[in-house]
Amino acid sequence: MNRRDTVLALVALGASPLAARAQQAGKVWRVGFLSSQSGPAENTEAFRDQLRILGYIEGRNLSIEYRWSAGADEHLPEMAAELVQLKVDVIVTSAGLPPAAAKRATSTIPIVTAATADPVGQGLVASLARPGGNLTGLSMQSTDLTGKRVQLLREFVPKAARVAVLAMKGTPATPLLLAQMRTVAQQMGLTLIIQEVNEPGALAGAFAAMQRAGAQLLIVQQAPFTAANRKLIVDLAAKHRLPAMFDLRQFVDDGGLISYGPSIPDLFRRAAHYVDLIFKGAKPADLPVEQPTKFEMFVNLKTAKALGLAIPQSVLARADEVIR
């Protein structure tokens, strides 16, 4: 058992284990799953697989109620309300707007967020160590990694002085990301070019505006919108010859240059452990929000060559995989 498992287990011990075991006997636990995605993906499977390892089998002692907004996040409040009406035992949320929608819908049902950019900055928890309230889970540390991502990208184009940010308009994490980007740009002496979008039809115009502004590098915010439109974003970055940094490997698989960030499947597996502890009687307010411990870097060699870039040895040495 590693350190974080030990910490969570010790917290759970204060939750009347005898009562928890009595409560578990013959019970079918109900999980509400609220997401901006359009359906199950690798992350969902990681969560379900870990629950199975922990002894929770769908159709036997576990039921999962899924609610997918498929990018239509205006429906999240009603979806969250549906899960509350179903009296699920816990609500699990993905990144973006779902955690806030769930928190507005209930102050009593435990909420586990599997991958939130900045739960403290977004006002979801009082602090990482002591969340308070009914929400806990995993932080993606997205805003904290901003400087690291810019530094890595600049290794491809060391003399770059103008960096663009493609951000999602209207998400709680966006102002936090942009504030961090402004700080990083000031520290590195970079000019910042910001484009905020929230519909696919605006992407081509956003990239054209970046090009007119002389952008030399691109940081793409991780959000449900950018994930849903990743192929279009990757293609536009290639068309405008912009070396781009992403959070997720899937962008690099689709032709993006480089990604760096926490392993999202790992975060969803960790979320299953939080659910297990809550089923055993632990309170979200007492479960510290966990930060990622597993980070991954992927580089697309073909894309680098198409952009006329040599991949620095310093980057190759740190990459988890170079896609050729």
Burial 169-191 (b: 16+ CB within 10 A, else e): eebbbbebbbebbeebbeeeebe
pLDDT at 10 over 80: no
Total residue count of the chain as it appears in this document = 324
DSSP output for 280-292:
TT--GGGSPPBPP
What is the pLDDT at residue 118? Answer: 82
Helix (H), strand (E) at residue 306: helix 301-306
What is the pLDDT at residue 72? Answer: 87
What is the pLDDT at residue 107? Answer: 96
Q: What is the pLDDT of residues 205-251, one digit of tens each?
A: 999 999 999 999 999 998 888 988 999 999 999 999 999 999 989 99
pLDDT at 159 over 90: yes
Q: What is the pLDDT of residues 85-144, one digit of tens each?
A: 999 999 999 888 899 999 999 999 999 999 888 888 889 999 999 999 999 999 987 666
pLDDT at 6 over 50: no
Give the pairing type, strands 258-262 and 295-300: antiparallel
Percentage above 70 pLDDT, the chain: 91
Highest mean pLDDT among 69-73, 186-190, 308-312: 186-190
Percentage above 90 pLDDT, the chain: 70
Q: What is the pLDDT of residues 35-78, one digit of tens each?
A: 988 888 889 999 999 999 999 999 999 999 999 998 888 999 99
Count of C-beta atoms within a 10 Å radius of residue 203: 19
R_g (Cα) of the chain, nearest Å: 20
Question: What domains are there in the chain, each with its CATH number?
Answer: 3-140+263-293 (3.40.50.2300), 143-261+296-323 (3.40.50.2300)
Averaged pLDDT for residues 285-293? 92
**Residue 260, beta-bridge partner list:** 297
For residues 308 and 238, the answer to whether their CB atoms sit within 8 Å is: no
What is the pLDDT at residue 143? Answer: 63
Biggest alpha carbon distance in the chain?
66
For residues 275 and 123, the answer to whether their CB atoms sit within 8 Å is: no
Q: Which two tokens stand for residue 193?
A: 């070019």
Confidence of residue 19 (pLDDT cuts 50, 70, 90): very low
d(CA 124, CA 9): 23
Confidence of residue 18 (pLDDT cuts 50, 70, 90): very low
Q: Is the dihedral of CA 313, 317, 323, 324 positive or negative?
A: positive
d(CA 317, CA 199): 37
Q: Which residue has the tokens 């956003």?
A: 206
Q: Is residue 126 classed exposed, middle or buried when 0-12, 13-18 and 19+ CB atoms within 10 A define those classes?
A: middle
d(CA 120, CA 36): 21
Confidence of residue 167 (pLDDT cuts 50, 70, 90): very high
Q: Which two tokens stand for residue 249?
A: 């490997």
What is the pLDDT at residue 25? Answer: 59
d(CA 131, CA 139): 12
**Residue 33, beta-bridge partner list:** 66, 92
Q: Is residue 81 classed exposed, middle or buried when 0-12, 13-18 and 19+ CB atoms within 10 A define those classes?
A: middle
Q: What is the pLDDT of residues 240-288, one digit of tens each?
A: 999 999 998 999 999 999 999 999 899 999 999 999 999 999 999 999 9
